[in-house]
Each structure stands twice: as structure tokens, then as C-alpha cells.
Amino acid sequence: MAESSIVEFEERLIIHVPANVVERMLVDAPALPQWRTCMRENVETSDPIMKPGTTVSFATTQYGLNFDYIQIVSQYIPGETLAYRTTKGLFFIDTTYEWAEDHGSTRLTCRYRLYVPKNKQFIKRLVERSFQNQSRDDNKNLKHLLETGAQRYRAASNLTPDEPRLESLK
């Protein structure tokens, strides 16, 4: 990203469910609106289970304005990593999730790299704080859903024996 400054941060959490349950929720593209706070409306995915090349498009409201975003999965290593990047949106973002089993729970590391273009530097601090808060909220939502068993898988997967639930997410 030419002429951009980069904001990087990382969050680590323990989710008290097995790693395959965390992985299933991370890669279940139609289920993203359950825990991603920015993805509340108009979410469309090219594949139900994320893999390299899967696109996720959605509309979101930021700073009182509506923006369209497209994210594309750049890497999926079953049992360990999911990475995607924004290809359309107000800001470009690289996101990587890495997980590992830890005595029946899951260690999840979330890495974020936000590119703030030169012409938007005047709002860099606001964007940085807002994005960090949103990401933390997303991770809290994911942890809560999984630890309480409230997640609703939307796509079939062999990661867990649970059947997809096709009722509305709302």
C-alpha cells in the first residue's frame, strides 16, 4: 500500500471449547454476521465454507456513512490459520486468525494490519481506536457464542457433527 501508514495490533484469547468448534465458526462464511459487528446487513459470500479465493461482501456503517466492503480469503490452513484481506472498503485491512488446542480449550491469536492512506491520516487515531474496539467486540462475541453454545452454523462441515441451522439469524 503505497503512501499508507500501517496500524498493527494483536489480540490473544482463550476460548473454552475445542479448536475444531472455533475453526468451524471462523470458516462458516454465512455465519459471520452472528459475531462480526460490522457485518449486520447485505452479507454475501461466494462459498459457504471459507477457502482461498472466497469473497465476502457486505455493507456497513462507519462514522455515520455507509460503505461497501469486499474481503477475500488469502490463506486457509485447516487446523491452524485463516487469513483474509479487504479488497474494497474505506480502509484496507489484513486479518489473520491462528488457533491451537490447549487442554480442551482453544488459544486464538487475532492479528490485524490496517492501512491508512496518506489522504486519510488526519483521522488515523480515530480509525485506529474504532477498529481496535470493533475487533475486540467481535472477539468477545465469538467467545461468548461458542462458550454458551449459542452459535448457529449456517454451512455443512465435517469439522463438527452439528447440522447447519437454516433459520434466520435475526
- Read off φ and ψ for residue 166, nearest 5 degrees: -95, 5
Res 169: pLDDT: 46
Res 2: pLDDT: 58
Tell me, yes or no, whether 76 lies in a domain: yes
Res 1: pLDDT: 53
Tell me, yes or no, whether 88 lies in a domain: yes
Tell me, yes or no, whether 114 lies in a domain: yes
Res 83: pLDDT: 97
Other CB atoms within a 10 A radius of the CB of residue 16 amount to 12
Number of domains, the chain: 1
Q: Which domain holds residue 119?
A: 4-148
Q: Which residues neighbour 59 within 8 Å (Cβ) at sequence distance 6 or greater?
A: 41, 42, 66, 67, 68, 69
For the chain, give me the number of helices (H) and strands (E)?
2, 7
Tell me, yes or no, whether 8 lies in a domain: yes
pLDDT tens track, the chain, 170 positions: 557 889 899 999 999 999 999 999 999 998 999 999 888 667 899 999 999 999 999 988 776 778 888 999 999 999 999 999 999 987 889 999 999 999 999 999 999 999 988 888 887 888 888 889 989 999 999 999 999 999 988 888 888 888 776 554 44
Buried b / exposed e over 123-147, threshold 16 CB at 10 Å, is eeeebbeebeebbeebbeebbebbe
Tell me, yes or no, whether 158 lies in a domain: no
Tell me, yes or no, whether 64 lies in a domain: yes
Question: How many angstroms separate the CA atoms of 107 and 15, rounded?
Answer: 7
CATH number of the domain within which 87 lies: 3.30.530.20
Tell me, yes or no, whether 164 lies in a domain: no
Question: How many angstroms separate the CA atoms of 25 and 82, rounded?
Answer: 11
Q: Is the pTM of this model over 0.85?
A: yes
* Nearest C-alpha neighbor of 29 from the set 125, 161, 157: 157
Tell me, yes or no, whether 162 lies in a domain: no
